[in-house]
Chains A and B, each alone.
Chain A
């Protein structure tokens, strides 16, 4: 009964490939997020969706495209992968309310060779 799950946990691929990371939450939250954590552990938000609508889109290359088929899922598709995309990607979810914490998934470690 995992709250926020991500697949795959590890992803190794070559430059130029297209890949997707999937995220699902069973908490009934209305908002989901994608964060990128670099090799120095720095965390930065990439996207946020509320009720399947994009509400945050930071300065992320347009090779990254989030897709939310429903409130419980937020997938991240990455085109033409580059070496600099190597990182750990975290999905999170919350209620869109000031006092509700964000729940994080276990992360997907992406390595581009």
Chain B
């Protein structure tokens, strides 16, 4: 079956530090890949997505590249801010359908001033 493995947290960084959150997946075919963010007390919001190999998703300074050869979709940001503190979820949707998202376990990020 499909699965997503995420780097375990929590992750604590100082403001302006470089962020990487690792994500690898197991799926047949060519799934779509997503990063969702959950701010405290809120629902999930789509941060970025990539639908085919070598696609790079980007938003709000965050980037992730769909690497089929390593089945990875690592999230990066060059300089984090306090406002980036949240839980980040990597997810996949099987090829041909957006009906079912499989999520990773989430990574709590705390950015200190």
Taking beta carbons and an 8 Å cutoff, which residues of A are in contact with B?
4, 31, 40-45, 48, 50, 55-56, 90, 92, 94-107
Contact = CB atoms under 8 A, between A and B. Distances in A.
Contact of A56 (B36, B46, B49, B100): B100
Interface string B66-105: 0000000000000000000001010001011111111101
A38 B62 CA distance: 27
A48 B100 contact: yes
Interface of B: 32, 34, 36, 38, 41-46, 49, 51, 87, 89, 93, 95-103, 105-106, 108
A98 B105 contact: no
A81 B36 CA distance: 30
B60 to A, nearest CB: 15
Nearest to B93: A98
Contacts, number: 64
B43 A42 contact: no
Nearest to A94: B98
A31 B100 CA distance: 11
Contacts of A50: 99
A-B pairs, 7 with minimum CB distance: A104-B43, A41-B106, A104-B44, A43-B103, A101-B46, A106-B43, A105-B43
5 contacts: A31-B99, A41-B87, A42-B103, A98-B97, A102-B98
A98 B32 CA distance: 8
Contacts of A41: 38, 87, 105-106, 108
Contact of A98 (B44, B98, B103, B106): B98
A42 B89 CA distance: 9
Contacts of A103: 46
A32 to B, nearest CB: 11
Given A98-B96, A99-B32, 14 more contacts: A41-B87, A41-B105, A42-B106, A43-B103, A43-B106, A45-B102, A96-B99, A98-B95, A99-B51, A102-B46, A102-B98, A103-B46, A105-B43, A106-B42
